[in-house]
Amino acid sequence: MGEPEKHRILMVSDFFYPNFGGVENHIYYLSQCLIKEGHKVVVMTHAYQNRSGVRYMTNGLKVYYVPWKPFLMQNTLPTFFGTLSITRTILIREKISLVHGHQAFSTLCHEALMHARTMGYKVVFTDHSLYGFSDVGSIHMNKVLQFTLADVTQAICVSHTSKENTVLRSGLPPEKVYVIPNAVDTAMFTPAPERLSRDEIVIVVISRLVYRKGADLLVEVIPEVCRLHPNVRFIVGGDGPKRVRLEEMREKHSLQDRVDMLGAVPHAKVRSVLITGHIFLNRFFQMIWLFWLRQILQLWFTPSQGLYICFLRSIHKICTIV
């Protein structure tokens, strides 16, 4: 058999380094893996402060920081045709064979996918998150998805639940949507070498502090958990518009010594933050996790049952509620 075809891939998103986040890390590490497989990878994103023009990263990863300024939450202003010229230039100059867009909220991603399909390129879209159907923002975003993904070659989701969500929102045929779960680099994220003391329970949260990630739920649940369990402490890593509410909650309830706000955490330091805690409060489906957090804390010190039984009982309780 002959060698597999080598592609020249353009990754497009408004979210990339030096910004912190899951999409940014995903694009970078996916690009590095593709480069190791022999493919050529180029990234296109908007300029970040004084970072504009062409930059090179590890293993020759070429990044175009297009001179467009973000106007809301790192998103560029929608122009439809404003990015056509620079997108066409990059596609032709780099001899791109495949365009890969990331994140439904990225304006640059949607515009690049439309321009690429107009020029006859194959395009792939990865949806990284779940969205609703009832609020105004979600309704608007779903209409945009139906428009821009109408002619997409393939789509990728990070879970089967995400696939169902994307198919319903965009109207894509299910056979064109593939599930590829996010991977964890086990060489980077190793367990703590020593067991933590159980004199104090530390709960770690690392997430963008926005409504969609459940930051408002944290504002409500942290004071209650701290009131019921004097030996519990929270470590909150991440930044976003809801950070102000968390800071206000900490001041209002005098929890400065029990709630540590770390701000934006660089990816290289995420592991060192995670291993300082006993419980990691997952940012996805955070509403469900918060339901059984209290149950776990109540049974934490029961030697005859252990944490595994705590999880089983908590999950059973959730299933009953749902």
H helices within the chain, ranges in order?
A: 22-36, 84-93, 107-118, 136-148, 160-170, 215-228, 243-252, 270-274, 286-299, 306-321
What the chain holds in terms of domains, given with CATH numbers, is: 8-179 (3.40.50.2000), 201-321 (3.40.50.2000)
Contact in structure between 94 and 107 (CB atoms under 8 Å): no
* Contacting residues for 231 by C-beta, under 8 A, at least 6 apart: 199, 200, 201
Helix (H, G, I), strand (E, B) or coil at 271: helix
- The whole-angstrom separation of Cα 61 and Cα 92 is 17
Instruction: Give the pLDDT score at 20.
Output: 80
Closest CA to 272 of 209, 204, 208: 204
Q: What is the C-alpha to C-alpha distance for residues 241 and 126, in angstroms, rounded to an integer?
A: 25
Read off the pLDDT of residues 51-88 as tens digits, 9 standing for 90 and up. 999 999 999 999 999 998 888 778 888 888 889 999 99
Please name the helix (run of DSSP H) or strand (run of DSSP E) that holds residue 232, with its range, or none. Answer: strand 232-237
Residue count of the chain, please give it. 322
Question: Sign of torsion, CA 105 110 111 112?
Answer: positive
Whole-angstrom distance, CA of residue 317 vs CA of residue 46: 46
DSSP 152-220: -SEEEESSHHHHHHHHHHH---GGGEEE-PPP--TTTSPPPSSPPPSSSEEEEEES--SGGGTHHHHHH
| pLDDT at residue number 9 | 98
pTM above 0.95, yes or no: no
Cβ burial 170-184 (10 Å sphere, 16+ → b, else e): bebeeeebeeeeeee
Inter-residue contact 239 to 207 (CB < 8 Å): no
Residues 6+ apart with CB under 8 A from 278: 196, 198, 201, 202, 203
Phi and psi at 127, nearest 5°, equal -100, 120
CA distance 206 to 283: 7
What are the distances in angstroms from CA 225 to CA 195, 258, 319?
23, 11, 22
pLDDT tens per residue, range 228-248 = 999 999 999 998 889 999 999
- Rounded CA gap, 284 and 289, in Å? 9
pLDDT at 95: 96
pLDDT digit string, tens, across residues 307-318? 333 433 443 343
The pLDDT, as a whole number, for residue 276 is 92
Structure tokens at 241: 């518009």
pLDDT of residue 283: 59
Tell me the C-alpha distance between 28 and 234, whole Å.
Answer: 30
98-102 sheet: strands from edge to edge? 53-56, 62-66, 40-46, 8-12, 98-102, 122-127, 154-157, 177-179
In the predicted model, residues of the chain with pLDDT beneath 50 are 285-292, 294-322
**CA distance linking residue 200 with residue 255, whole number of Å:** 15
CA 47-10-76 angle, 5° bins: 30
Q: Exposed, middle or buried by CB within 10 Å (0-12, 13-18, 19+), for 250?
A: buried
